[in-house]
Structure formats: structure tokens, C-alpha cells
A and B are shown apart, each in its own frame.
Chain A
């Protein structure tokens, strides 16, 4: 065993630069996944059947194939058709797309948890469909799935390391590069893993706390529905 604390601490400033890229990936991916997922969940309830099938098929493909393969697909195939994107943008887009399939299921559980009577009451008051969504359904559906969405953001933070495979210097790839340059992989990779672990552990404590607070506030929430959505991505 050749652990060198000096070298371990020396690698930290460079690792933090990589961590910053990882955070950009996570934040960008989260914004995209949270918005796109909501859009998919709402469109999936449209009365127009072909659109419903299309959305269902998109979610099926996104959930049924590996993130790495989706990443390679976008990274290598899009330039063939004249679309050149920076690596960070590619990472954010694929991360956001991939997770939108999971957040969509999550929102769906929240939306289905709103009692049918709420729709009927909205209609009785002569509200437009758009207005019912905005003012009645979503304000009740979204808060109860926030903890589950938080779990996905945390998962996205951990999965973002895969984007290194297309040459983005996020935290893990930075650690690997330090290892390659110095022939010492042990310290930088261990420190990178420790950073991932520390941040995701703190985040999971935050989510658990949120869950408890939500549990106290949202009596309407059907825990079974939210649970099955969260189990979608273990």
C-alpha cells in the first residue's frame, strides 16, 4: 500500500476544477430534465392518441438504453448531420434527455395522485384546460413529488461522471488524467470518489429531510404512487 497524503492533497485543487464542471453538468441537466419531464408528463395525457404513443415510445427508448450509448449516439451521430455542439452542451443535453424520462414518470405519479374531483371542479367553474393545469392540478401535483425529483438530481450528479467518456474533463476524468500524468492513480481517484460520496451523501440527507417535511404537510399525497415512481430508477 503506497498512500501518499501529500500527493493526495496536492491533487485537490485540480480536482475541484473538475468538480466545477461536474456541477455545471448536474445543474444544466437538472433544469432540462425537470422542465422536459413535466412537458412529457403533460403531453402524455393529451386526448390525441398518436402524440400519446409517440411520447410513450420516446420514454421507452430513453429508459431502455444505457446512458453511455445515448451519449455516444448524440456525440458521434449529430455531427454527421452538420450539428456540432460543445462537449459540455452535449453532456447537459443527453443527461437532461435521459433523466426527463424518469422525471416524467415521477410527475405522472403526482398528477395521477390529484383526485379526479379537482378536474371536475375546475370544469364546473368554467376554467380553461390550461388554467386547470396551471392553477389547480400542478400546484397540488408537484410539491408531493419534489423529494423523488431530488433523488433524481442526486443520481444525475453521480451519473454525470459518464460524460467523461466523450472527453469532458469533469471530476472523474480529471482524476484519471492526474493519474495518467503522474502514474499515481490511487490518490486522485480515491479523492475524487470521496468528493462524490461526500456531496451525494449530504444531498441524500437533504432529500430525506425534505421527505419528512413533505410527509407532514401533504396529507393528500398517496405514498404508494410516489414510491413506485422513485423505484423506477433505483
Chain B
């Protein structure tokens, strides 16, 4: 136990690395989700098809396969060398973004057609309709599944330890190898991840409660 205690400050510095990857990855995932999720519904084929291919490819392989590809194969493919941290953020953002894209699409499609028709009747341009009428209503339905995406993203940050990013998991492995106190350090690691994922669900619940009431369409009470 004393052996581990000496390493604890080093271990807990890993939280910042994990959080950094999580926040940057989530930001990228949200941008990707809205771009490709809406793009997949575009009437223009040249936009719709690439978005659909992107989503299917990134959902059809797992984050770890993509991570290894970006880390080991991409430098040979395009002569781009990414730092491990950047590769991690990029892969997690694109991977979870492709899942979130389907969430965005599903939520937008579940807003009743009449909302589009009403906007058309008011002579509102398509873009404005999407921004001012459809998305604000769709967002209520997106929040719970996007919370799941964020939790998955948090758990997947542990994968970057496999490409030598010094996150919580990597540091726990180092401490295990140095001290041999396997049970204690992995026990602490499990508890830290539990706290992090539960913090995200708590945040989601708070956001859900604060969602504006009185929309024409509310999921669950159609």
C-alpha cells in the first residue's frame, strides 16, 4: 500500500489527460455528428452519400481498430504522423461522432412533418426552419442518447493507453509493473472511472430537467 501511495500523485495527474481527451473528443464528435447526421438527410446526393459511407465505415469497425490504423498505418498512407494524443482525440471524435450522427438523424426525423409544413406555409427558408424550428425541438430527444455517447466516449478514452498516451489506464499499468500492487491500483482505477461515468450521467440528468418545456413536440408524450 505504501508503495502505491508514493505513486498516487502521478496516477491522479492522469485524470487531466483523460479529461482532456474526453472533452476534445466530445467536441469533435458533436461537430461530426451534426455535419454528417444532417448531411445524410440532404437531398443532394454528393453530400448524402459520402456522409452515409463515413457513418457506416466508422460504425462498422471499432474504435481500437481505427486507433491502430490512424496510429500505425496512416503515416505510411499519407505521410502524416500524428502524436498519440491527437490520434486518440481524432479517432474517438470520429468514432463516437458516427454514432451520434445517427442520434441526430433519428431525432430530426422524429419531429413531426407538420412542423416543416407550417414553416413552409410561413414562407420560411429551409435553413432557418432547420435552425429555428426543427433543431430546438429535436434537441430534447437527442439529449438522453447523446449522454450515452458521452459515457461510451469516456470509457473508450482508456484505449489510448494502448498507443502510449499517459492517461489513467496507462499510468495504472506502469504503477502495477513497478510496485506489483495489482489489486490496489486497479481497484482505484475502477473506482475513478465509475466516478467519471457517473458524473456524466448526473450532468445529463441535470440538463434533461432544464430542457425547455412547452414545445409543440415532446418525445414520449406524442
Contact = CB atoms under 8 A, between A and B. Distances in A.
Interface of A: 1-3, 60-61, 63-70, 72-73, 76-77, 80, 158-159, 161-162, 164-165, 172, 175-176, 179, 184-186, 189-190, 192-193, 196-197, 200-201, 204, 224, 231-234
Interface string B13-24: 000000000000
Interface stretch (B60-68, B119-127, B132-140): B60-68
Contact of B77 (A66, A158, A186, A197): A186
B151 to A, nearest CB: 8
A76 B176 contact: yes
B72 A80 contact: no
Nearest to A190: B73
B84 interface: no
B183 interface: yes
Mostly, the B contact residues are helix
30 contacts: A64-B151, A65-B155, A66-B156, A66-B158, A66-B193, A68-B162, A69-B190, A72-B173, A72-B186, A73-B190, A76-B182, A77-B182, A158-B65, A161-B64, A172-B65, A172-B68, A176-B68, A179-B72, A179-B73, A189-B65, A189-B72, A190-B69, A196-B60, A196-B61, A197-B60, A197-B61, A204-B60, A233-B148, A233-B152, A234-B103
Interface of B: 56-57, 60-62, 64-66, 68-69, 72-73, 76-78, 96, 99-100, 102-103, 144-145, 148-149, 151-152, 155-159, 161-162, 169, 172-173, 176, 182-183, 186, 189-190, 193-194, 197-198, 220
B193 to A, nearest CB: 5
Contacts of A72: 169, 172-173, 186
Contacts of B64: 159, 161-162, 164, 172
Closest 4 interchain pairs by CB?
A: A158-B62, A66-B158, A185-B72, A66-B155
A69 B62 contact: no
A72 B100 CA distance: 28
Given A65-B194, A77-B182, A204-B60, A234 B152 contact: yes
A72 B65 CA distance: 19
A11 to B, nearest CB: 12
B76 A184 contact: yes
A209 B20 CA distance: 40
A71 B3 CA distance: 24
Contacts of A65: 155, 190, 193-194, 197
A73 B176 CA distance: 11
Contacts of B56: 201
Nearest to A70: B190
Contacts of A201: 56, 60
B189 to A, nearest CB: 6
B148 A234 contact: yes
Chain A CB within 10 A, most for which of B78, B158, B172, B189: B158
A231 B161 contact: no
